[in-house]
Amino acid sequence: MKEKKIALVAGGAGFIGSHLCARLLEQGWDVLCLDNMLTARPGNLRALTNHPGFSFVRADITDPLPDEVVEQADRIERIYNLACAASPPHYQSDPEHTMLTNVVGTDRLLRLAEQSGARFLLTSTSEVYGDPEQHPQREDYRGWVNCTGPRACYDEGKRAAEAMAFDFGRLQRAEVRVARIFNTYGPHMDPRDGRVVSNLICQALEGQEITIYGDGSQTRSFCYVSDLVDGLIRLMEAKDVSLTPVNLGNPEEYTITQLLEQVRALVPTTAEVVYHPLPVDDPRRRRPDIGRARALLGWAPRVPLAAGLAETVRWFAEEMQRMQLLELPVQETRLSA
Amino acid sequence: MKEKKIALVAGGAGFIGSHLCARLLEQGWDVLCLDNMLTARPGNLRALTNHPGFSFVRADITDPLPDEVVEQADRIERIYNLACAASPPHYQSDPEHTMLTNVVGTDRLLRLAEQSGARFLLTSTSEVYGDPEQHPQREDYRGWVNCTGPRACYDEGKRAAEAMAFDFGRLQRAEVRVARIFNTYGPHMDPRDGRVVSNLICQALEGQEITIYGDGSQTRSFCYVSDLVDGLIRLMEAKDVSLTPVNLGNPEEYTITQLLEQVRALVPTTAEVVYHPLPVDDPRRRRPDIGRARALLGWAPRVPLAAGLAETVRWFAEEMQRMQLLELPVQETRLSA
C-alpha cells in the first residue's frame, strides 16, 4: 500500500478538484490534495476524508511547497494544477494573489514535476480566448483578451501559466498537459460564487428574484462536471499531447435565457427576472470546438443539460438544507469569510 | 544634497536604461540603478559611475529587493521598471526567468511603489500586440499573441505585468504608468543581441555577410533612443494617464530591406546578403499609432532614421575598437558569458 504512486491535486477542495480527487481515488491512486481553502468549500471533501488513500495539506501554492509535499516527491507521478479562484468576484477580490497563484504557483508545481519526474496538467480556461471573434473557439485561436482590464489578472494569469507550462515541455523539463476548460457545472459549486448556473438555481430554489446580466442573449456552453473530470484524466494519461492545449467543454450552446427556462422547468418559480448591465469585458459568446479532444482523447461530453441540471438542483436543495441545519446561512458569501 | 529624491531604474545598465539614468541625472534626480547584469553591458555605465548622484546595486528583481533599496524607500519617488532581457535569443535562453522577471519582479517593484508612495512606470512592449491584424497598432487593440509559443515567455510576461500594474492602479495601491515600447535603436545596443539594427550595422562594419530573416519585406518602425527616453520621462511626469497604456515609438515604417539600404549608405559593404527563414511567431508588420502619446504627452519622435543610424554606426565603430583594444572579441555573445 505504501508504494502506491501519488496524484497531487492542487485546488483539490474546489468544485472540480473535489470531483477529480474522488475519481482518482476510485481509480486506485493515492491522492494528495493541496488547497488554501480560500474559495474551496470544506464540505466538498466530506466523502473523501475517511478514504485511506486520501490526504489533505492546507497550503497556498504562492508560498514554498510544504515539507509534507516535498518529502513525498519521489512518489508523486501526476500533478494536476486546479488551484485558482475561478469566478470573477472571487478572483477580482485580490487580483495580485490571482496572478501570483497562476504564475508563481504554476512555476512551483512545474518545478516539483521536474524534480519528481511527474506528469503535469494545467487547468487553463476558455478565458484565454477573451471575448472571442472566432466561433466556436479552436485551440489555435489566439484570443481577444484585454490585458489592462479587471478580468486580466485571471485571463492573463492563465495565459502566462500556459506559456510557462509549454516552456517546461519544450525544454523537456517536464511532461506537460494543458486543458482549456469551458463553463462547467454540477454539485459542489459554490452557491454564491456569482456564476450563472449557481445564481439561477439558488435564486429559483429560494424564490428570490432572478438576476440576468445583459439581455440574456449572450451564450455559454455548459459541461457537466463528471464529463469534465473524465476529460481531464484522459488528457493526463494520453500520449503525445504535451505541446498542445486541448479544449474541454460541452459544444452545445445555450443562451442565458434558454438556461433559465431549463432551470424553471426543474424549479417552478414565479419570481421576477431583473436585468443588470453586463460586467466589463464579459464575453458575448463562448463555445468550444472539441475536435482535438475527440481526435486525441476519444472524448466528448455525455451528460445532457437537462440531466446534469437535475442532479445539480437536487444537490443544491440538499446543500441548502444542510446549511440551514448547521445554522450557516447560505447568504453568507465565501468572500467575506 | 542628501534630501534629493531618488528615481530608481531597474534594468538601468541596459540599452535604454543607461540612457534613461543619464537623462534623469541631468534633470537633477539621484538615480539608483538596479541591474542583474545578465544582458546589460558594463560599459553602458562608464559615463555615469563617477556622478555623485548615481548609485548602482547589482540585484535580480525576481529575488527579494536588497536592503540598500528597501532602506531608501522613503526617498524613492519614481520607479522605472525596464528590467527584462528584450531580444529573443536572450529572453528565450531562460524562459522561466523571463516570465518571473516580468511577473514577480514587477510585483516586487509595485509593492515598493506602494510602500514608498513612488510613482511606477512599466516599460511594456509592442510585443503585447503579437503579430498584429490591425495596422498601425492602437492601444485599444487587444493583440494576436500565441500564448503557447517560444515568444510567449516575453509577450505574455509583459501582458501579465501590465495586468498587475493596472490592478495596482485601479486599487489605488500605486500611481502607475505603462509605456508600450516599439523598436528602439542607438548607442549602447548589444552588438550581439540578435536584433536587426545591431545585426546589420555590425555585419556591415565587419564586412561579414549580411543576414536577413524572411524576405526583407516585413516592416518595423525604429525609434532613436533619445526620443524614447524623452517619451518615458514625459509619460512618468504626465498627469491623468494612470490607467491607460501609451505607445512610444516612431510611426515611420520601413521594410528590413529599406533599413539595409540606409545602413549600406553609411557603411559601404559589398558583402553578400543571405536570407534565413523567419523565426516562429515573428511579426510581419509593426507600427505604432502614437495619437495617444501626442495628445496626452505632447510627444513625437524628432530624430530622423538617417541621423540616428549615423550616430549608432559611429558608436558601434568606436565600441568595436574599444573591444579590440581590450582583447574582448566582439564575436563573444553575452549569452555564453
Q: For residue B113, how far is the Cα from the chain centroid?
A: 21
Q: Which of A153, A164, A243 lies at the smallest CB-CB distance from B163?
A: A153
Chain A hits for B167, CB-CB cut-off 8 Å, are: 95-96, 99, 150, 152-153
Please tell me if residue A280 touches chain B, with a CB cutoff of 8 Å. Answer: no
Residue B167 zone, left/alpha/beta (φ > 0; ψ -120 to 50; rest): alpha
> Which residues have a Cβ under 8 Å from the Cβ of A307 and sit 6 or more positions away?
A224
B91, B129, B154, B185: the catalytic one is B154
Catalytic residue list contains A154:
yes
The answer to whether the bond into A136 is cis (omega within 30° of 0) is: yes
CB-side neighbour CA atoms (13 Å) of B319: 25
Please tell me if residue B143 touches chain A, with a CB cutoff of 8 Å. Answer: yes
More confident residue, A328 or A162: A162
Helix (H, G, I), strand (E, B) or coil at B110: helix
Looking at residue B278, its pLDDT comes to 87
Q: Which of B144, B156, B178 lies at the smallest CB-CB distance from A160?
A: B156
Chain A residue with Cα closest to B110: A96
Backbone φ and ψ of A319, nearest 5°: -65, -40
- Measured from the Cβ of residue A47, the count of other Cβ atoms closer than 10 Å reads 13
Per-position b or e across B297-310, b if 16+ CB within 10 A of its CB: bebebebebeebbe
Low-confidence residues of chain B, pLDDT below 50? 1, 330-337
Please tell me if residue B112 touches chain A, with a CB cutoff of 8 Å. Answer: no
> Which residues have a Cβ under 8 Å from the Cβ of A2 and sit 6 or more positions away?
none
Average pLDDT, integer, range A153-162: 98
The string of pLDDT tens digits covering residues A293-335 is 999 999 999 999 999 999 999 999 999 888 776 655 544 444 3
Residue that the C-alpha cell 500556459 belongs to: A162
**Which grid cell sits at B199?**
545585426
Please tell me if residue A257 touches chain B, with a CB cutoff of 8 Å. Answer: no
A326-331: Cβ within 8 A, 24+ apart:
A330/A191, A330/A192, A330/A202, A330/A206, A331/A192
Relative to beta strand B184-185, strand B175-181 is unpaired
Measure the CA–CA gap between A25 and B140, rounded to whole angstroms.
Answer: 47
Query: Are A132 and A105 a contacting pair, CB within 8 Å?
Result: no
Q: Which of B144, B163, B245 lies at the smallest CB-CB distance from A99?
A: B163
Cα pseudo-dihedral B288, B289, B292, B297, rounded to 10: 50
Relative to beta strand A253-255, strand A219-221 is antiparallel
Backbone φ and ψ of A242, nearest 5°: -75, -20
The string of pLDDT tens digits covering residues A188-220 is 998 888 889 999 999 999 999 999 999 999 988
Q: What is the ipTM of this complex?
A: 0.92
Enumerate the β-bridge partners of residue B36.
Answer: none
Residue that the C-alpha cell 530624430 belongs to: B303
Average pLDDT, chain A: 93
Query: Are B313 and B224 a contacting pair, CB within 8 Å?
Result: no
Enumerate the β-bridge partners of residue B30.
Answer: B6
Looking at residue B37, its pLDDT comes to 96
The string of pLDDT tens digits covering residues A48-85 is 999 999 999 999 999 999 999 999 999 999 999 999 99
Q: How far does chain B reach from its first CA to its final CA, in angstroms?
A: 38
Q: The pTM is what?
A: 0.93
Query: Are B92 and B104 a contacting pair, CB within 8 Å?
Result: no
Query: Are B98 and B87 a contacting pair, CB within 8 Å?
Result: no
The string of pLDDT tens digits covering residues A87-112 is 898 999 999 999 999 999 999 999 99
Looking at residue B231, its pLDDT comes to 98
Q: Which of B189, B131, B144, B184 shows the shortest CA–CA distance to B301?
A: B184
Looking at residue A280, its pLDDT comes to 77
Looking at residue A277, its pLDDT comes to 92
Please tell me if residue A107 touches chain B, with a CB cutoff of 8 Å. Answer: yes
Q: Which of A236, A243, A115 shows the shortest CA–CA distance to A169?
A: A243
More confident residue, A220 or A168: A168
Chain A residue with Cα closest to B176: A148
Domains of chain B by range and CATH? 6-184+224-248 (3.40.50.720), 196-220+252-282+303-336 (3.90.25.10)
Query: Are A17 and A39 a contacting pair, CB within 8 Å?
Result: no
For the four alpha carbons of A157, A158, A159 and A160, in that order, the dihedral sign comes to positive
CB-side neighbour CA atoms (13 Å) of B255: 9
**Which grid cell sits at A287?**
463555445
Beta strands per DSSP E along A265-331: 273-276
